[in-house]
Amino acid sequence: MKLKTNIQAYNFLELIAISGEFPVTNIDRLAGGSEYKKKMIYHLKKSGLIRKYSKDKTHSYKLTVAGKKLLLENNYVRLAFFLTGDIETNLHKSELFRRLRLHKIAQTHLIMQKAGIHIFRDIKTPVFSSEFSIVSSERHSYSEIITPAFYDSKEIKTLLGEKSTKIMSSRLVGVLLTSKDIFAVYNTGDSLMKWGHKIEQRTKMMFCLYFSKTNFDYAGHNIKSIMIGSDMDMAVKIFESDGCGKQCLLNIDDIYDGMYFIPNDENGDMLFNILSNPKIQNEVHNLLMENLTLASCNDLSRTF
């Protein structure tokens, strides 16, 4: 079967491929109107490329064997990592906690893509790959990340091995690299997440150690973090939680050199675009400084 690669339906198949599952509850975040997306899903199901999977009152879309075959035939380099072997995205997962994790990764891939951030392996700098894991006399500058790129936890674990599996939090979904910053990315969804201070500290140190030993010059660079939540109400719940008390919930601490909360909605798409683009950051900063200066001058004039 042939399917145009520049249409939403094909992109949806690719999102499922690199995520493992795509939650039904996030179909509304895809581009296009509701009727268009209904027809798209109907067409893909009728063509035998995807199927709906429901268990534990949790619904998602998964690729069929035919869907995987189509994608591999069209772009083996891009998707073989996710659709071959015993990697998580190529295996059937029935446990609810594992499926929910895949859903959070799918949500993150989508919000990154909507913000113009590279998520596919064939078009982003292979930072978490063997060619960057060997120290050489040639140092690559992080400015080579011209277009921001997101590397999910599966890509990181494949290179760093068992030690990363033991260290990385189950809520850490990956790392975002820009020409300016490194962001550890978490996704708490619509529930408060557990936050083990020592575990997250070891996670940060793992990245610091990795970049210090590679020939990709992020060594010594600050590592920040991003927390994705279902909406801004989650940010309020996080701040009002008990922190690392009996529940060991998320507590705003000093592990990372800054933490940003981003909602999984259109506002979040815009915020990700700002965070990942230093030029836009500077423009926003200058605009805010102008408004702040103007407001201060007006207050001063009223005083006198």
Q: What is the DSSP string of 259-289?
A: EEEEESSHHHHHHHHHHT-HHHHHHHHHHHH
The parts of the chain modelled with pLDDT lower than 50 are 134-143, 244, 300-304
Residue 106 belongs to a domain:
no
pLDDT at 127: 80
pLDDT at 55: 94
**Do residues 86 and 194 share a domain?**
no
**Do residues 276 and 138 share a domain?**
yes
Residue 237 belongs to a domain:
yes
pLDDT at 45: 96
**Do residues 282 and 190 share a domain?**
yes
Identity of the residue numbered 24 = V
Residue 119 belongs to a domain:
no
Choosing from 76, 95, 114, the residue where a domain stops is 95
pLDDT at 50: 97
Q: What are phi and psi of 123, to 5 degrees?
A: -125, 5
pLDDT at 248: 57
**Do residues 130 and 84 share a domain?**
no
pLDDT at 296: 54
**Do residues 78 and 136 share a domain?**
no
Structural domains of the chain, count: 2
Residue 5 belongs to a domain:
yes
Identity of the residue numbered 147 = T
Range(s) of the domain holding residue 152: 124-304
pLDDT at 242: 62
Identity of the residue numbered 42 = Y
pLDDT at 206: 84
Instruction: For residue 49, give the CATH number of its domain.
Output: 1.10.10.10
**Do residues 68 and 146 share a domain?**
no
Q: Give the Cβ contact number of residue 146 at 10 Å.
A: 10
Residue 261 belongs to a domain:
yes
**Do residues 85 and 167 share a domain?**
no
pLDDT at 166: 61
pLDDT at 187: 93
Residue 110 belongs to a domain:
no
Identity of the residue numbered 219 = A
**Do residues 157 and 18 share a domain?**
no
What is the token pair recorded at 283? 């423009």
Sign of the CA dihedral with 121 first, then 125, 129, and 130 last: positive
**Do residues 203 and 81 share a domain?**
no
In sequence order, the β-bridge partners of residue 199 are: none
Residue 101 belongs to a domain:
no
Predicted TM-score (pTM) of this structure: 0.86
**Do residues 258 and 170 share a domain?**
yes
pLDDT tens per residue, range 244-292 = 455 555 656 678 888 899 999 999 998 988 888 878 888 887 888 876 7
Q: What is the Cα–Cα distance from 170 to 36, expressed in whole angstroms?
A: 35
Q: What is residue 26's three-state secondary structure?
A: helix
In sequence order, the β-bridge partners of residue 182 are: 177, 223
**Do residues 141 and 266 share a domain?**
yes
Residue 104 belongs to a domain:
no
**Do residues 222 and 135 share a domain?**
yes
